[in-house]
Amino acid sequence: MGMEMMGNLNQQAKMAKMQQAWDMKKSGTLPIMGKTGTSVFKTLAPEKKKTSDAEVKKRISKIKTKLKSGAKLGAADKAFLRKHAPELYRKVLALEKEREAYEERLKECKTRDEVEEAKLQKKGEMSSTMKDTDPEFAMIRMAQMTAAESEAAPSVKQKPWRYEIEQEEQQEKSEAVERLTEKELENRRQEKSREEGQWAGREEEAFSDERFKDMHIAAIRMMPYSELSDAAADYTKGQAAYQASAGMEGAELPEAETKKEKRG
């Protein structure tokens, strides 16, 4: 009984001393020295290191989960990877550049057909390198490329399909042909109208000329022979003046003039 009690007291004293030494070490008032202090340091220090490694792994796991969701990393996450996971950090930087380039390429496509072709090409690239890539990082890369497609989606939706462009071009050609046809028809109508107007004018001029001659011939026939000479002279002058004004110089004189010459 007494020995057991002594053992308990010694154990309690030992634990109290160890706790006191550790408290002094943390406060910086006294370094842990000696056999007991060394035992405390060796006992507690590995436990602290294990906790730190666990926290690093936990943080890296959270970062990977974020990448798998398609999210981008902030400055704090990248700084953490740079310090604790340099290889993963380099991969993440390269992945960011690939994502930005892919998103920009989708936005620069002129048609949605080109967008679909770019998507197929990207999937082919990832499939060809999947064997040489860490499976987990391959999932991360796929998620990041899918996120890039989602980012470019608003711009892609505004792009036409190739068949829509072809239909629009065909419609424009049809409208152009229709406008040209209407213009040609209008030009032909105007030309025909001008030709008809010119023909009507010539008929009217010819009709007026015939009436003029008939009227003068009738007047000559009713005149006395004594006045015929003077009338014939006046008629010749009038006819010449008329022909000159009408642009008919060189035309034959009326029949009455010919008869006058014969009578003379």
What's the pLDDT at 52? 85
Is 121 found in the same domain as 76?
A: yes
Would you tell me how many other CB atoms lie within 10 Å of the CB of residue 89? Answer: 19
What's the pLDDT at 236? 66
Residue, of 189 and 264, whose pLDDT is higher: 189
How many domains in the chain?
Answer: 2
Domain boundary (109, 132, 159) is at 159
Domain boundary (123, 143, 159) is at 159
What are the tokens at 146? 């899918």
- With a CB cutoff of 8 Å and minimum separation 6, the contacts of 60 are 80, 81, 84, 85, 88
In-domain check, residue 11 = no
Q: Using the predicted structure, report yes or no on whether residue 225 has a pLDDT greater than 60.
A: no
Domain boundary (159, 192, 220) is at 159
Q: Which residue has the tokens 């022979």?
A: 225
For residue range 230-253, what is the model confidence (pLDDT) as tens digits? 656 666 666 666 666 655 555 554
Is 125 found in the same domain as 70?
A: yes
Q: Which domain holds residue 144?
A: 66-159
What's the pLDDT at 33? 47
Whole-angstrom distance, CA of residue 47 vs CA of residue 44: 5
In-domain check, residue 254 = yes
What's the pLDDT at 193? 80
Is 211 found in the same domain as 239?
A: yes
Mean pLDDT estimate for the chain: 77
What are the tokens at 221? 């026939």
Q: Using the predicted structure, report yes or no on whether residue 92 has a pLDDT greater than 70.
A: yes
Mean pLDDT throughout 152-181?
89
Q: Model-level pTM greater than 0.95?
A: no
What are the tokens at 179? 């406008």
In-domain check, residue 19 = no
Whole-angstrom distance, CA of residue 211 vs CA of residue 156: 82
* Pair 248, 234: CB distance under 8 Å: no
Whole-angstrom distance, CA of residue 50 vs CA of residue 198: 112
Mean pLDDT throughout 212-225?
63
Instruction: Label residue 115 exposed, middle or buried (CB < 10 Å: 0-12, 13-18, 19+).
Output: buried
Closest CA to 93 of 82, 104, 105: 82
Closest CA to 39 of 17, 24, 67: 17
Is 193 found in the same domain as 149?
A: no
Using alpha carbons, list the distances in angstroms from residue 57 to 36, 93, 171, 196.
33, 20, 63, 99
* Pair 166, 174: CB distance under 8 Å: no
